[in-house]
Structure 1
């Protein structure tokens, strides 16, 4: 069946062609960069919540993340960086949706106590009030949290041991955004992302913003998540930037950070 007889595929083809053309729209991309600079200055991404918990993300990235989770259908999502826990709740809610869809497809019923899909969050400092709020959330049965440095060997081994029984794994890196730290996290955890799933690296946008955007932080242009991604990709051909997501968002904290495992 060609596109003329398949309206769904025709729509998808039009979308793909439109997105592919965005890469040539330099003026629009420049506006997006200017907007992002103002968004950081005004703490725009601190304004949102998911499932009642603050989530420090852009709405556009949340929507794209939903698309990635739906496509990859992971059994486990590993996240470095917890903060207020909104991202953990987002991941848990998407996994709960996958559980429900599986149950509908098989004529069964979801039992939250036995559903296998889970979220693992890692943070060097899980503040007591955030931990209590996450543990009190209705989706807490799908969430585990490890406290400690994500790049120290005991934690790396602990996470790998936790992940060994899962068939489809998705990884999100969103903690310390310096080059060395992100590269260490990529080397520690990217290999856990299974084929056709993703290792997502957030705050790569730091490379594209003026040097004075983050005066009180150790990261800056030349020393950030994006520089780590490109260093990592030099020796890891099993990953590639998902260019469709990369190009279509325009407003994103993770340009070049949507890494799909292709091998």
Structure 2
């Protein structure tokens, strides 16, 4: 006789089954795909802030990151790409609620007005920033020094979105990720957009998702967490949530 699940486990099982069902073609998937294209075209992600700082992320990805950070409780989150600093503030605020951890942000150009706003923010107490190219090996050595002794580490890659750059970031930063934690590669959505959608060096065939595919060909320490893709459907990081499994 199969034991009866308690209400909490029953809810979790129903949710897991529903999310798994979203992997199949459906009106919902088609609607989400259409929204992904239209909303990226119209810069929908630029509409949101966290604790006063522009975050330039989809709410769905923000919730996914909250779920991961709460579950993993990292001692260190490394993020390449700072922009306005909203993600740094967001991650730091979650770590503040957890009661431990710090965020290390890296950007080739931390603009003075953004730096000032980040440094006066209440959550800056959990943030450190490094200016320089994320793929500069001297800078990566400094990141390694700061990561030393940290028990649990998460990495977020959100800077230059070309295939070559992201692949190099994966080679340099993915090894910092601890088993059971994640390397989240943002803007993999570029591969799913119409060709020529961006006035930038990246495009279909040359973007973070193609870098993820290339990296995983020779690295089996990570797996794409498709359950997150199926859960969100609307995301700038499809196939970009990489879980370290060994």
- What is residue 90 of structure 1 aligned with on the other side? 90
- What is residue 166 of structure 2 aligned with on the other side? 182
- Equivalent in 186, 201, 205 of residue 202 of structure 1: 186
What SS class does the counterpart of residue 15 from structure 2 fall into?
helix
Give, in angstroms, the shift of residue 247 of structure 1: 1.0
Q: Deviations over 1:203-242 (max 9, x none)?
A: 001111101211x111111000000001111111111111
- What is residue 167 of structure 1 aligned with on the other side? 151
- Equivalent in 222, 232, 238 of residue 255 of structure 1: 238
Gaps of 5+ in 1: 100-114
TM-score after normalising by structure 2: 0.97
TM-score after normalising by structure 1: 0.91
- What is residue 107 of structure 1 aligned with on the other side? none
The CA distance in 2 between the partners of 1:171 and 1:260, in whole Å, is: 11
- What is residue 239 of structure 1 aligned with on the other side? 222
What SS class does the counterpart of residue 56 from structure 2 fall into?
coil
What SS class does the counterpart of residue 211 from structure 1 fall into?
coil
Give, in angstroms, the shift of residue 59 of structure 1: 0.4
Asked if 1:121 is matched to 2:105, the reply is yes
The CA distance in 2 between the partners of 1:222 and 1:84, in whole Å, is: 28
What SS class does the counterpart of residue 243 from structure 2 fall into?
strand
- What is residue 19 of structure 1 aligned with on the other side? 19
- What is residue 42 of structure 1 aligned with on the other side? 42
Runs of 4+ off more than 6 Å: none
Gaps of 5+ in 2: none
